[in-house]
């Protein structure tokens, strides 16, 4: 045992205290026994208080030890999983009573399998790590130690191959001084696996349409094996070849030729026999093919577009595509210089694909044009979607006071099967419908499972924020009973005197229906209340919901893509009005854009109708209606240009414009206005280690470069940029392995787009155990390279201790002396008095002072 003081400077206060006590003791005067005792109590209390301020504590020996078993579960150590588990199972039986133990797993992330405790740990079945493609030993050791008591001896038992791909464990262990923490290591054996990996895919970054290019593919193999090498262009198989691989590097070349233009993705994929790592069997490349601009015209099955036939095929490559066939990855949009939506409802597109198109426009300069029609703009369900975000117009029309009085009740399934994205999107869709309504429109929201949950009673809409908050608070749970809530919605709207009343039902399930339910719906229809139904997923009862919508005078939507639900509800809410269609013949009034003014120099043909929208503040209006609504509007969104034509292309609404002899020129001008106008710069991209790339302007004209990176699924990722020289930047992409599209622009207005591959990590390559790293860790901390499991629980050389503060005891003792002092002074009568001496003795004992002489004279008289 030892005594230590945390704040010794406070003890300096004892010096003035001692001086005062000496002075007080030597002061002349009689000091009785009671006075001396009080003096002693005060001295003790003062000394104890000063000692408490110094914070003394006792250091007591403690033989407790902490054993932290940290197991490598990364991909490179996967082949040793059984050996790791066996070593742990064999070792924990040697745990001693004074030792606590915990078991942890790590890769790029960290997980606690068995918390640190005095019980014998039982690890159970290992689970898959979230980031198996990395090995971060530094994070594993630091987090394991964070779970331990910093006063006790600790031993990290590291079971790993030492192939660190993230962090810096060497630097971290330099901080572990004092001998309290040891690191033992079990060196996992070199992975004895058969593996083949695609290590290189090389193509020129730019080429011309129709020009043959040479693709070079390198495959590194650990053994002799057979396989198939497949080549893809934009996910379309170009060819597959049987290959025989020999140990080492194998190189293959293939000629590649395409008539397509734009940024194309190429992929090399290897399928080999007995291949251990499948993650390293693919690489990507992107090639910018120069030639005629490619234009994608999106149409519907029921309403084919006339635009492809009006565009000049000698100047552009036109592809017509059904809305349902739109690509689900960004790769599918990169070849196109412009995209045209011709009267396409958002209910067929979905928000995920809209988000991809928005990324293509904003970050890669793709042009976008939307035409009007009964399925477009607000009537197409584009309110608050990514497409509305990129367009120069808003779907919401100003001046809603002209709309009829409306009543809308949304009936939503909240059963357990709706949990997850279904319920999230359904709630968001209902909230958007609230935004589309006016104050004082009637709105109600009912959720149901086996019972009815009235979230928002049908009443005039007064506080949109409060209503939205209630809708977004609905959670999933329970079964499905559809019709009682629908019947309630009809009852809520029945007595209301409104011009239009509508019910929207959303469900993903099936439910028994009561007799006569269709009669109830038909009666509601006759009372001016319509019903539309939305069936989400394959389990929804399509026949039932379709019959209900038909009986209710509404529409049925069968949804397989959940992201279309918000567009459906927006469209349903807007369709209630029909005032969005302005169908009075009119002549478009021109704005101040030279291209359009030149086209219509001879006059503007009469048009019949358009969809009312509101132009955004910074957009340019090329043409407007006599009411001031935009007919032709355009603006710049990110790197791309977009335009809105609120009449249609077929002639039903555009009338005289479609019959005009310069009608093809109208579409050529519209396309010209949205095609990318930037110049391409001669940037070069060089790949470094991992996800690091160096981008340089070989022409020497740029001073600064700005880089945007987007993954194939349309997710914009964070880019770490370091400007290393004028016109030269090094970027690091922190994302999963795969293809990433880069958009590079400079301070001169030039732009370059390309694709790079973030490679798979070294975890997915056969490699040797890093014995040098493991030995350095053990040497720095006084640990061992383990061979025997029982060594994990050997005695730790560091002697732990407990620190017990005595401050509270000192304060308590000082308090006791303080109260003793008070007791003696205040209640001294309880103590027996001393016998007084005789008067004569007192007089004899008195000193011969002036006062004593006066007293003697007084007595004589």
User: Rounded to an integer, what distance in angstroms lies between the CA atom of residue 91 and that of residue 493?
Assistant: 73
Answer for the pair 318, 336: CB distance below 8 angstroms, yes or no: no
Answer for the pair 693, 722: CB distance below 8 angstroms, yes or no: no
SS3 per-residue string spanning 472-535: HCCCCCCCCCCHHHHHHHHHHHHCCCCCEEEEEEEECCCCCCCCCHHHHHHHHHHCCEEEEEEE
Would strands 738-746 and 705-711 be described as parallel, antiparallel, or unpaired?
A: antiparallel
Of residues 276, 141, 251, the one with CA closest to residue 766: 276
Q: Which two tokens stand for residue 390?
A: 């990129």
DSSP class of 279: T
Answer for the pair 109, 130: CB distance below 8 angstroms, yes or no: yes
Can you give the C-alpha Rg of the chain in angstroms?
42
Q: Give residue 36's pLDDT.
A: 80
Q: How many CB atoms neighbour CB 233 within 10 A?
A: 17
Phi-psi region of 365 (alpha: psi -120 to 50; beta: other; left: phi over 0): left
Q: Which residues of the chain have pLDDT under 70?
A: 1, 29-31, 123-124, 126, 398-404, 577-579, 678-682, 827-861
Q: What pTM, to 2 d.p., does this model score?
A: 0.71
- In the block, tokens 């009005």 appear at 577
Of residues 776, 502, 613, 303, the one with CA closest to residue 623: 613
User: Rounded to an integer, what distance in angstroms lies between the CA atom of residue 631 and that of residue 613?
Assistant: 9
User: Rounded to an integer, what distance in angstroms lies between the CA atom of residue 523 and that of residue 518?
Assistant: 9
User: Rounded to an integer, what distance in angstroms lies between the CA atom of residue 137 and that of residue 167?
Assistant: 7
Beta-bridge partner residues of 184: 157
Q: Give residue 685's pLDDT.
A: 86
Of residues 168, 73, 80, the one with CA closest to residue 128: 73
> Residue 208's Cα: distance from chain center in Å?
39
What are the two backbone dihedrals, phi and then psi, of residue 439, each rounded to the nearest 5 degrees? -60, 140
């Amino acid at each position: 045992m030892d005594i230590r003081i945390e704040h010794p400077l406070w003890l300096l206060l004892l010096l003035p205290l001692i001086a005062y006590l000496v002075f007080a003791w030597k002061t002349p005067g009689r000091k009785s026994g009671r006075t001396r005792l009080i003096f002693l109590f005060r001295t003790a209390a003062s000394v104890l208080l000063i000692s408490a301020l110094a914070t003394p504590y006792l250091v007591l020996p403690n033989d407790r030890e902490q054993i932290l078993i940290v197991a490598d579960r990364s991909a490179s150590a996967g082949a040793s999983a059984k050996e790791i588990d066996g070593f742990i199972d064999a070792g924990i039986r040697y745990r001693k009573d004074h030792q606590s133990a915990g078991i942890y797993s790590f890769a790029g992330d960290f997980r606690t399998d068995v918390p640190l405790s005095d019980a014998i740990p039982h690890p159970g079945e290992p689970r898959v790590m979230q980031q198996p493609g990395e090995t971060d030993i530094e994070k594993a050791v630091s987090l394991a130690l964070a779970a331990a008591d910093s006063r006790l001896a600790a031993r990290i038992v590291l079971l790993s191959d030492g192939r660190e791909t993230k962090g810096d464990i060497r630097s971290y262990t330099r901080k572990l001084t004092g001998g309290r923490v040891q690191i033992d290591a079990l060196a996992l054996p070199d992975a004895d696996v058969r593996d083949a990996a695609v290590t290189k895919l090389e193509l020129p970054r730019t080429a011309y349409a129709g020009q043959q290019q040479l693709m070079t593919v390198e495959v590194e193999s650990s053994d002799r094996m057979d396989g198939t090498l497949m080549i893809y262009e934009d996910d379309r198989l170009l060819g597959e070849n049987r290959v025989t691989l020999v140990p080492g590097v194998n190189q293959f070349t293939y000629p590649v030729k395409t008539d397509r233009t734009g940024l194309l993705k190429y992929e090399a994929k290897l399928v080999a026999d007995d291949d251990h790592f499948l993650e390293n069997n693919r690489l990507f490349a992107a090639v910018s093919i120069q030639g005629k601009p490619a234009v994608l015209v999106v149409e519907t099955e029921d309403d084919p577009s006339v635009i492809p036939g009006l565009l000049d095929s000698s100047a552009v490559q036109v592809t017509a595509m059904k809305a349902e066939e739109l690509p689900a990855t960004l790769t599918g949009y990169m070849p196109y210089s412009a995209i045209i939506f011709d009267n396409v409802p958002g209910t067929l597109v979905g928000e995920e694909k809209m988000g991809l198109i928005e990324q293509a426009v904003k970050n890669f300069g793709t042009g976008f044009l939307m035409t009007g029609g009964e399925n477009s703009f607000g009537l197409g369900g584009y309110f608050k979607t990514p497409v509305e975000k990129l367009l120069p117009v808003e779907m919401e029309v100003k001046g809603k006071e002209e709309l009829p009085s409306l009543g809308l009740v949304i009936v939503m399934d909240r059963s357990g099967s709706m949990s997850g994205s279904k319920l999230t999107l359904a709630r968001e869709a209902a909230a958007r419908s609230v935004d589309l309504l006016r104050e004082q429109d009637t709105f109600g929201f009912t959720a149901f499972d086996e019972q009815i949950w009235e979230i928002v009673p049908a009443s005039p809409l007064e506080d949109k924020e409060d209503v939205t908050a209630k809708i977004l608070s609905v959670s999933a749970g329970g079964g499905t009973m559809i019709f009682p809530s629908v019947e309630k919605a009809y009852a809520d709207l029945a007595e209301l005197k409104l011009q239009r009343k509508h019910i929207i039902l959303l469900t993903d399930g099936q439910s028994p229906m009561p007799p006569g339910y269709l009669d109830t719906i038909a009666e509601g229809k006759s009372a001016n209340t319509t019903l539309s139904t939305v069936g989400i997923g394959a389990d929804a009862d399509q026949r039932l919901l379709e019959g209900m919508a038909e009986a209710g005078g509404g529409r049925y939507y069968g949804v397989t893509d959940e992201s279309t639900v918000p567009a459906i509800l927006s469209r349903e809410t807007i369709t209630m009005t029909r005032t969005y269609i302005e169908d009075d013949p009119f002549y478009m009034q021109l704005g101040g854009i030279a291209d359009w003014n030149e086209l219509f120099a001879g006059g503007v043909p009469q048009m019949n109708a358009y969809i009312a929208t509101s132009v955004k503040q910074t957009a340019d209006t090329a043409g407007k209606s006599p009411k001031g609504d935009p007919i032709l509007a355009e603006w710049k969104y990110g790197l791309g240009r977009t335009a809105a034509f609120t009449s249609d292309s077929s002639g039903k609404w555009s009338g005289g414009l479609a019959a005009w002899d310069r009608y093809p020129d109208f579409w050529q001008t519209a396309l010209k206005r949205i095609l990318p106008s930037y110049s391409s710069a001669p940037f070069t991209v060089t790949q470094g280690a991992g996800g690091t790339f160096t981008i340089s302007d070989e022409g020497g004209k740029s001073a600064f470069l700005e880089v945007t990176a987007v993954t194939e699924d349309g997710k914009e990722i964070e880019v770490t940029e370091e400007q290393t020289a004028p016109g030269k930047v090094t970027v690091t992409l922190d994302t999963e392995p795969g293809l990433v599209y880069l958009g590079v622009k400079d301070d001169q207005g030039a732009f370059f787009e390309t694709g790079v591959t973030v490679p798979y990590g070294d975890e997915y390559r056969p490699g040797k155990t890093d014995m040098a790293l493991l030995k350095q860790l053990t040497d720095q901390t006084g640990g061992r390279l383990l061979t025997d499991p029982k060594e994990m629980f050997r005695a730790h050389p560091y002697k732990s201790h407990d620190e017990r503060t005595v401050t509270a005891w000192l304060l308590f003792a000082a308090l006791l002396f303080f109260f003793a002092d008070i007791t003696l002074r205040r209640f001294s009568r309880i103590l027996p008095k001393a016998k007084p001496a005789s008067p004569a003795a007192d007089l004899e004992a008195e000193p011969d002072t002036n006062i004593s002489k006066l007293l003697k004279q007084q007595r004589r008289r």
